[in-house]
Chain A
Amino acid sequence: MMLCLGSVGLVLLALTVQNGHGAPDSAGWNGKDTTERNYYTRYHNMTEISDWMEKMKRENPDVVSSMVYGQTYEERNITLLKIGLRSTKRKKAIWMDCGIHAREWIAPAFCQYFVKEILQGYKTDTKVKEMMKNLDFYVTPVLNVDGYIYSWLNDSTRLWRKSRSPGPVGCTCYGTDLNRNFYANWGTVGVSTNCCEETYCGTKALSESEARAVTDMLGKMSGDILAFLTIHSYSQLILVPYGHPNISAPNYNELMEVGLGAAKAIKAVHGMDYTVGTSPDIIYPNSGSSCDYARLIGIPLSFTFELRDQGEYGFKLPEDQIQPACEEAYAGVQHIITYAHDKAFYSSAATVTTTLWTTVMTAWVFSATFL
């Protein structure tokens, strides 16, 4: 009996190993590469990412909690990790989402890497610790859960981009481009009205539950969010609002300065060039993007990141590039977050200077009057 079970066990083990990367039934943490360094250098399916989110909460209960803030079309949870030192006061926030486009696998990989880095960093790095104290990081590793799962089914679905909602009456195709579905100049430029096409913007703004979920969350938090970062691939770009060629963000100069600083930080890591600018300047005009919506509701620092590469592998970035791609992206994101944090918590430097001058002037006027 024992021998028989042993053989069955061996067969099962062989099957598991043979399935290799992220087959839908592989349990991420029971596979061969359970070392942390190996984990963050591979792509993970949705089950593995969900398990990983639970693990982050379990291992860091004092700084990590999760929130389900919406449902996908196929009624799956859209979950974020909220990361920060607990406070009784209401805190400012940084928003990051990954995987709004299903095929851009390096994006969820980066969100996972980012979380890992700040959870390690805050214990040893005073700056990261300070930011964790003053801010909460709201990180959504996979926004387009349905699309992401679909892209893992087989080779023919790998390059899926959109949501998985069915098309309108009369159209047999599936999916809306979530990054054209937000209430931000919706349906004006850079979209398709053909439901079979990749930039189909939907029947109306916020037709997609995933876009509504983000919109609702941002609505609840908007006054508190210092920076909004949405992560994509590929092309190595840092895009600033707006996607419409005739509309400029009021703080365009600031956005460009911060974006160029981030690109410089990225280049310092592995020498990669990231181009900074608005979408209509750098790649193409577009409308209804999450980044545009964030800027429109008043989040001052809204950026879209397009990670590696520049077309050699495109969406199928090899796993041996995950680590360097994430390292450089982290440097870029950190530049923006640090700027956002310091502006909120140290532009008391500007306030202090103003207060000082006011005091001096008042004293002078006072003394002048009474002499």
Chain B
Amino acid sequence: METGELNPNYYPARRAAAVVQHYLNTRYGSPYRWMFLGNVHNASSEDVTEGRKYQLELTIQEMISNVSGPCSAELLFPGAGTPQVQASCDWLLPNNTRAQEEAFYQQHRDSHNLVSGDRIPDSYGHMEPTMKPFWHLGGVASSFIMLEQSNQSTLYNMAQVANFTQLETEKDQLRFQYHVLLHEMVSQEIIHWKMLITWSPAEGVKVLQTDLQPKCNCEDPPDSIN
């Protein structure tokens, strides 16, 4: 493994930067705030006693407001277990999303009309506009899993919200059951997870339970179509 300055376009820096993206989503993400990695500008890494440490300068893009900004981060891949991230992105302030989040929260807080949805996005990349915040929320919640599962040999994205169901609001937190599909780039595998999550503007996204779903190899050959 290269030590010292890394080429910021090469995969070791990019994979580490993706972990920073997941971390930022767990800290700052919401139905109206979802971060993605833009470019990596500088990267270096070294072996330390606890594992492998990375220093990164990168650009993060917030997808809903379409605002980008710089972040610095330090990341440790331990021998085993969840990567540890410290990141500062001074521009990631909660201001502009407050009103939308509050409105969304109030709209769904009353448990009389529990929402649910599936196949977000559908096969054509399409989703109903009312489903979009639930897609963002799924992406942010998935970041908890993706952060935990990441190592130097992985690169995760959420491929789809297979389905979600809103449960009764509890302790002022909106609650949802989510089934998500994650795409792991290096193995190219699609991995199914179920999660129980909560969210409120005050508390942010929390993941209470996660359940890895077994890969189903249970297929019959389809009848010839077309």
Query: Does A283 lie at the interface of the complex (its beta carbon under 8 Å from any beta carbon of B)?
Result: yes
Query: Does B102 lie at the interface of the complex (its beta carbon under 8 Å from any beta carbon of A)?
Result: no
Asked if A284 and B11 make an inter-chain contact with CB atoms under 8 angstroms apart, the answer reads yes
Query: Does A281 lie at the interface of the complex (its beta carbon under 8 Å from any beta carbon of B)?
Result: yes
Interface string of A118-152 (1 = CB under 8 A from B): 00000000000000000000000000000001101
Docked complex Cα distance between A246 and B193 (Å):
37
Asked if A149 and B121 make an inter-chain contact with CB atoms under 8 angstroms apart, the answer reads no
Could you tell me how many residues of chain A have their Cβ less than 8 Å away from some Cβ of chain B? 45
Asked if B187 and A74 make an inter-chain contact with CB atoms under 8 angstroms apart, the answer reads no
Query: Does B222 lie at the interface of the complex (its beta carbon under 8 Å from any beta carbon of A)?
Result: yes
Known contacts A282-B9, A282-B11, A311 near B36 by CB under 8 Å: yes
Query: Does A235 lie at the interface of the complex (its beta carbon under 8 Å from any beta carbon of B)?
Result: yes
The number of inter-chain residue pairs (CB within 8 angstroms) is 94
- The segment from A4-12, A195-203, A208-216, A360-368 that touches chain B is A195-203
> Which residues of chain B come closer than 8 Å to A315, judged between CB atoms?
159, 183
Asked if B188 and A282 make an inter-chain contact with CB atoms under 8 angstroms apart, the answer reads no
Asked if A281 and B7 make an inter-chain contact with CB atoms under 8 angstroms apart, the answer reads yes
Known contacts A153-B225, A174-B221, A311-B157, A43 near B183 by CB under 8 Å: no
Known contacts A153-B225, A283-B185, A319 near B124 by CB under 8 Å: yes
Asked if A284 and B186 make an inter-chain contact with CB atoms under 8 angstroms apart, the answer reads yes
**Of the residues B39, B63, B124, contact of A318 by C-beta under 8 Å:** B124
Docked complex Cα distance between A159 and B215 (Å):
13
Asked if A283 and B222 make an inter-chain contact with CB atoms under 8 angstroms apart, the answer reads no
Query: Does A155 lie at the interface of the complex (its beta carbon under 8 Å from any beta carbon of B)?
Result: yes
**Least CB separation from B123: chain A residue:** A158
Within 8 A of A (CB), among B191-226: 215, 217, 219, 221-222, 224-226
Query: Does A370 lie at the interface of the complex (its beta carbon under 8 Å from any beta carbon of B)?
Result: no
Docked complex Cα distance between A310 and B215 (Å):
25
Interface string of B1-21 (1 = CB under 8 A from A): 000000101110000000000
> Which residues of chain A come closer than 8 Å to B121, judged between CB atoms?
313, 316, 318
Docked complex Cα distance between A281 and B11 (Å):
6
Which label, helix, strand, loop or mixed, suits the secondary structure of the B interface? loop
Asked if B225 and A317 make an inter-chain contact with CB atoms under 8 angstroms apart, the answer reads no
> Which residues of chain B come closer than 8 Å to A43, judged between CB atoms?
123-124
**Least CB separation from A75: chain B residue:** B224
Asked if B226 and A197 make an inter-chain contact with CB atoms under 8 angstroms apart, the answer reads no
Asked if B185 and A198 make an inter-chain contact with CB atoms under 8 angstroms apart, the answer reads no
**Of the residues A174, A196, A199, A319, contact of B188 by C-beta under 8 Å:** A199
> Which residues of chain A come closer than 8 Å to B39, judged between CB atoms?
273
Asked if A312 and B63 make an inter-chain contact with CB atoms under 8 angstroms apart, the answer reads yes
**Of the residues B11, B125, B217, contact of A173 by C-beta under 8 Å:** B217
Docked complex Cα distance between A153 and B223 (Å):
11
**Of the residues B9, B36, B119, contact of A312 by C-beta under 8 Å:** B36
Query: Does B110 lie at the interface of the complex (its beta carbon under 8 Å from any beta carbon of A)?
Result: no
A13 to chain B, nearest CB (A): 22
Docked complex Cα distance between A275 and B63 (Å):
21
Docked complex Cα distance between A172 and B104 (Å):
46
**Least CB separation from B156: chain A residue:** A311
**Of the residues B63, B159, B222, contact of A159 by C-beta under 8 Å:** B159
Asked if B217 and A314 make an inter-chain contact with CB atoms under 8 angstroms apart, the answer reads no
Docked complex Cα distance between A47 and B181 (Å):
28
Asked if B224 and A74 make an inter-chain contact with CB atoms under 8 angstroms apart, the answer reads yes
> Which residues of chain B come closer than 8 Å to A197, judged between CB atoms?
187, 189
Asked if A153 and B222 make an inter-chain contact with CB atoms under 8 angstroms apart, the answer reads yes
> Which residues of chain A come closer than 8 Å to B225, judged between CB atoms?
24, 149, 153
> Which residues of chain A come closer than 8 Å to B219, judged between CB atoms?
173-174
Asked if B123 and A155 make an inter-chain contact with CB atoms under 8 angstroms apart, the answer reads yes
Interface string of B154-167 (1 = CB under 8 A from A): 01010110000000
Given contacts A311-B183, A314-B183, A315-B159, 12 further A-B contacts (CB under 8 A): A45-B226, A155-B119, A155-B123, A273-B39, A275-B9, A277-B10, A281-B7, A282-B10, A283-B186, A284-B185, A313-B121, A318-B124
A interface vs B, CB < 8 Å? 21, 24, 42-43, 45-47, 74, 149-150, 152-153, 155, 158-159, 161, 166, 172-174, 177, 192, 196-199, 235, 273, 275, 277, 281-284, 310-319, 321
